Structures are given as C-alpha cells and as structure tokens.
Chain A
C-alpha cells in the first residue's frame, strides 16, 4: 500500500505542477501582458540600445481622444469629438447642455480673468468656466484642478498647454 500511496502523491504533484505551469502563462497573458500595461518601459539613461528596434516595432493601437475618454461628471452630457465637429448642434434643444458642449469644445472663447475672486461667487458650470478662464489667463495648471467636472478639467489642462506652447 505504501507504494500505491507514493504513486498517488506523485500523481497529485504532477497534476499540481501542470496546473501551475499552464496557469502561470494564462495569468501572465491575462493580467500582465504589455497590451494590458499599455506601456513598454525602457531605460531613459541610454543603456538599452540593443532592444530598441524590436521594441519600437511593437504594434499597439493608440486610443481615441481625451475628450471622448474622460467621462463628464455632475450629470452633464457625454460630449464627443463628433459633437465638437458639428458645433454642438445635437444639444441645441437644451440650453444647459449646449452651454456645456460649447465649453468642452472650446467654442465659448476664453474671457480673461485676473484673480480667484472673479470666480468665487459663481456656481456650477459658470464657476467651472471661470476657473478655466483664470487658468488660461495665468497659464497655471493648478487652477484647472478646481474645476469640478472631470471633462472640463481635462479640457482646461489641454487649453493651458496650448497657451504655454504658443
């Protein structure tokens, strides 16, 4: 019987090893593949030239725009790039939504602002718009973080970047 016991134990170990072997590759593929991570890390100190060409050849689709990807908050409509291309015409029946869309798309021009006091007494979208105007006027990214709507906050950061790079 001792012999039989050993056989069963060996079978058990083999089965466990098989599961571990195949399981590892599956788990790695599912949760740790480069596509999941989205970034291929390299040394930026110039020590990795041999692998450059190969890594540079990786095929990885870049995702669509930030305007599309960043979800709105505060119950605002989900403005897409296509809405900006057609000047928000799909929102013309709702004044609030139209106003929001025009903000997201940059159709409403920036009005120069001087200080936080200009925005303090405003509420809602008007307040967010004011923060954007102030951030652009001051070329200060940190002011964008005061914006409550995630999408407008992203638009603000991008708009300040445009201002700085110009």
Chain B
C-alpha cells in the first residue's frame, strides 16, 4: 500500500513536471517566436511612433531590424553616415580635394566653371543662393583679399567669403556634370558639387609648417559616383578583379568619410592623387566604362570587420606576402597573408609606395585569373572580414 502511494506520488509529480516543462517550453519557444515576429514590426513601430520621416526608413521594409532602426535614428539625429538627400542609393557623399591655386595663380588665371545644366552659386552647402546661372555661362572666381573670393563673369562682380559652392539649380546633383577647366589637365569634368575653399595656415597638404594660402577646388559627390571615376584602374582586367578593386575603392573612401580628419581644415576628406587614391572624375569614367559596370555589380558593398567598415589599404606589389599592419589592435584584419601572384623580386616594404598592407592589386589580379571570386579574394587579403551592404 505504501509502495503504491509512493509510486502514485512520483507519477503525479512527474506529470506536473512534464506539464510545467511543456508549458514553459511552449512559452519559451512560441513566446520567442511571437517576439521574433513582433520584432519585425517592433522596430518599425518605434520608428512610426518617433515621427521620423518615413522616407528615411521605407527602404528597410518589410523587415526593419534593430541595426536599421539604430541607423535611422542616427540619420534622423543628423549623425552617422548620411546618404546625400538627393543621391538615393548612391551612398554617402565624399569630399575630394582636386587641386589648389596659390593666390597669385588664381589672380593671373581665374578659376572657370560651367556645367551640363543650370547651376546655383551658393555661400555654403545648402546655404544662401548667390545666383542661378545658365548651363552654358562660364563663372569665374578669383581671390581678392583678406581671405575673400570674388565671383564674376556669369553674374555681376560679387565678393563672397572664403567658401563658394556650385550645385544643381533643379536640386538633382546626380546627373550634374561640371567642367572645372583645370589648367593643364584634360581630366577636369566632375559629377556632383564643386566647392572652392580658401585656406591659410600650415602647409598640411605637403606636410610642413610653412604658412601657406591656398584656394582649394573640391568635388563633393556620392561615393558610388566617386568610384566610377577611380583612376587607380582602367577596368580592363577580369571582371572579378575589377569588382575587387571597386569594392576596395568604395571601402577605402568610406573609411575616409567616417574617420579622416587630416584635411578637414582644407575642406575635404580625401585627396585625388596617389597620396590617397587617384580620382579622375567624369572624364575617366567615360573613358573606362568597365569600372562603372563593376561598381554597379558591387553597389553599396563594403568590406567590414565586426560590423565596421575596414581600412581597405592596398598596394600594387609585394615580395610574396603582405605585412601585418603596425597597429594590430585597431586593424587586426590587416595581417600578413601569402601573395604568390603579387610577388615582385627584390621589392622591399615601402619601396615605390608598396607598403604591403592589405591587398596587392597584382596579387588579386592573379587570383582572379585563376578563377577566384571577388569575395574570395577580398576575404583572403582582409582576414576574418565580411562583405556587407552599407546602403
């Protein structure tokens, strides 16, 4: 009898435990599923409730993730990577330093600019419009004194401050092309906005403390259009190699947008020469159409490490292997890997600009010729990274 009661008790407790576990499990599982399902709309609901302009997050639908929610919040707050308001999926804008005039140079031979459609002359980015000018009319700019620039020719003489912006009169800068009439250079047509910026101070550009006065010509445009005009390649190699290079150009540019401060006093983020990466603008883009094709194939794709865009350092050649970057703590993905196809005999690190960090362009070309995909190549040279969509 006692044995029977004991058995019944055990069975009863077992039953209760089974019911409890099944209930808890069901709650655990289905509760989570419900939560997961609601998380699709949870972040969306938060956005809706926040009153943020739906235009900022409509492209995240139908499933708004937490990271997208945070990104939209940042955008709405005016911080973070901001896509140009008129650039759509062409990515955030990058300011590229094209060239500069000495004061005496621009006085002797003024800066000249016209465009393929009517354009505005402004005092600042999105600021007061000084004038709207017909496409065919050439505007001239020269230096006057005390850091001021003078605009003339297309409009009555007007002395402005040390900054002038040129952008599209119809608000659409994506199909705007300026002819900046660069002295002695045929590659002088540029998409997007053109800025002139007066600078006085240390010669940052040449890395000296000599006091200089420079009037910089700057091109500000969405990063996709920037990539289309990259002069680092002709785009004539295997398709996957060109895809590798366009992804690197984009990632490299993105790193500069987000992190560069060196040229801030001059008014731009990145140089247009080999000091950063060579940019030839719209003329280069026209002459080398495969670059744009590869950029379109990889649009918005960047190399990332733990969710952050990487510093996509690259060079032409190595001595058979790439090198560890000196700051391993912050750039752990720039580690030494073999580079059989990029090997150049007798080459030493640093020689002819070959720092041997990150990717070697000729090594990547060799891998592409041997059938490796663009994503494989990128992940080979940038260790433990992912290919992400930035926009």
User: Which applies to chain B's interface (DSSP): helix, strand, loop or mixed?
Assistant: mixed
Inter-subunit contact B25/A80 (CB<8 Å):
no
Q: Any chain B CB within 8 A of the CB of A95? A: no
Inter-subunit contact A109/B380 (CB<8 Å):
no
Report the count of interface residues on A (CB-CB < 8 A).
69
A residues within 8 A CB of B379? 42, 44, 52, 55-56
A residues within 8 A CB of B15? 8, 11
Inter-subunit contact B304/A60 (CB<8 Å):
yes
A30 CB to closest chain B CB, in angstroms?
Answer: 8
User: Pick the contact of B386 from A23, A40, A53, A163 — CB < 8 Å?
Assistant: A40
Inter-subunit contact A162/B258 (CB<8 Å):
no
Inter-subunit contact A15/B18 (CB<8 Å):
yes
**How long is the Cα–Cα vector from A65 to B201 in the complex, in angstroms?**
28
Inter-subunit contact A80/B78 (CB<8 Å):
yes
Inter-subunit contact B25/A15 (CB<8 Å):
yes
Q: Any chain B CB within 8 A of the CB of A120? A: no
Q: Any chain A CB within 8 A of the CB of B8? A: yes
A131 CB to closest chain B CB, in angstroms?
Answer: 15
Interface residues of A in 44-85 (CB under 8 A from B): 44-46, 48-49, 52-53, 55-69, 80-84
Q: Any chain A CB within 8 A of the CB of B236? A: no
User: Pick the contact of A161 from B67, B311, B383, B388 — CB < 8 Å?
Assistant: B311
Report the count of interface residues on B (CB-CB < 8 A).
80
**How long is the Cα–Cα vector from A105 to B22 in the complex, in angstroms?**
57
Inter-subunit contact A44/B265 (CB<8 Å):
no
Interface residues of A in 1-42 (CB under 8 A from B): 1-2, 4-5, 8-9, 11-12, 14-16, 18-19, 22-23, 26, 29-30, 35, 38-42
A residues within 8 A CB of B387? 55-58
Q: List 25 A-B contacts (CB under 8 A).
A: A1-B8, A1-B11, A4-B7, A5-B7, A5-B11, A8-B11, A19-B29, A22-B25, A23-B28, A38-B306, A39-B305, A39-B306, A44-B383, A53-B375, A57-B387, A58-B386, A58-B388, A59-B389, A64-B79, A82-B78, A82-B79, A106-B262, A163-B262, A165-B355, A166-B207
Other A-B contacts than A52-B379, A62-B308, A162-B261, 4 sampled, CB-CB below 8 A, are A5-B10, A15-B17, A39-B306, A40-B386
